[in-house]
Amino acid sequence: MKTSRIITILALALFTAGALAAGCSRKDSKKGGSDKTFIQIKGSDTMVHLASTWAEEFMKANQGMELAVTGGGSGTGIAALINGTTDICAASRSIKPEEIEEAKSKNVEPKEFVVASDGIALVVNPDNPIDELSTEQLREIFTGEVTNWSEVGGPDAEILVLSRESSSGTYVFFQEHVLDKQDYAAHARLMPATSGIIQSAGEDRWAIGYVGLGYVADAGAKVKALRVDGVEPSEATVLDGSYPIARPLHLYTNGEPRGSVKEFVDFCLSEQGQKIVKEQGYVPVN
């Protein structure tokens, strides 16, 4: 991903928004989208790198097209889809029943596409001697029942719990599938972006946080990914079902996509798009 390119895209997004406010014709709110030269994608922080790479490659093959990719969390993206302020929502969780009802009340019909799979990795500082935790130990740590590494076989040191904010789809998935729907520990440090968890875990020897599998590859030696229930987080273990913390990644459109929006979704599911999924550290679905 070329940083300068993404900055250009975001700048264009701001320019376009201003032009629209001045009276330009935007068809974002119409079901399925339509032929357009600018596509807005909002949502999952987990999927920002993946969606940005898709966007770059799609624009190379479609001269004149511009795509803007922004994160903020799956909940933010779904809200934007419902409110008609994005063409495509990227989400690391499924849309909730109450969100579907809200969408219907605004004549929005969310259409779901599973475009990749992802494992959620637990990351710690490379100097932390712990290499493995069970799902039960993770539940105890992230709910605050366990607060010291000595309680899970480590040294006598206080655990710094790192979590995403509640708008994150990863926050919701982790709470439902690891914490058994219990509340996060009151002392958990809520981070606005996954990159913040990587940075904090890389700097604090006793921190622990959760990130999408794709971020582990990008982080390199900055953090260490733990085995969970004895299984390494990897593409192979997500595919064979042995890694216990995995989930599908979605794109949502308003109704059946059409025109350039459909072309982009089709590209994400194409052989080239799924090759990008693998290159970015996620798991292809095709």
Report phi then psi at 111, rounded to 5.
-110, 125
Q: Are 84 and 22 found together in one domain?
A: yes
Q: Are 109 and 193 found together in one domain?
A: no
Flag whether 193 is in a domain: yes
Mean pLDDT for all residues in the chain: 89
Q: Are 235 and 264 found together in one domain?
A: no
The predicted structure's pLDDT at residue 286: 83
Flag whether 284 is in a domain: no
Domain with 235, as residue range(s), is 119-246
Nearest alpha-carbon partner for 257 in 84, 36, 33: 33
Flag whether 286 is in a domain: no
Report phi then psi at 38, rounded to 5.
-135, 125
Record the pTM.
Answer: 0.73
Q: Are 56 and 148 found together in one domain?
A: no
Q: Are 151 and 204 found together in one domain?
A: yes
The predicted structure's pLDDT at residue 217: 83
Sign of the dihedral through C-alpha 116, 121, 127, 132: negative
Flag whether 168 is in a domain: yes
Provide the residue count of the chain: 286
What CATH number did the domain enclosing 221 receive?
3.40.190.10
Neighbours of 169 (CB within 10 A): 29
Mean pLDDT for 247-275 is 97
Q: Are 46 and 134 found together in one domain?
A: no
The predicted structure's pLDDT at residue 6: 40
- Spell 84-108 as b/e; 16+ CB within 10 A means b: eebbbbbbbbbbeeebbebbeeeeb
Q: Are 130 and 232 found together in one domain?
A: yes
Please tell me the distance from the alpha carbon of residue 155 to that of residue 45, in angstroms, as a whole number. Answer: 33
Q: Are 188 and 167 found together in one domain?
A: yes
Percentage of residues of the chain with pLDDT beyond 90: 79
Q: Are 110 and 223 found together in one domain?
A: no
Nearest alpha-carbon partner for 92 in 245, 219, 275: 245
Mean pLDDT for 81-96 is 96
Flag whether 285 is in a domain: no
Q: Are 153 and 63 found together in one domain?
A: no
Count of domains forming the chain: 2
Please tell me the distance from the alpha carbon of residue 283 to that of residue 229, in angstroms, as a whole number. Answer: 20
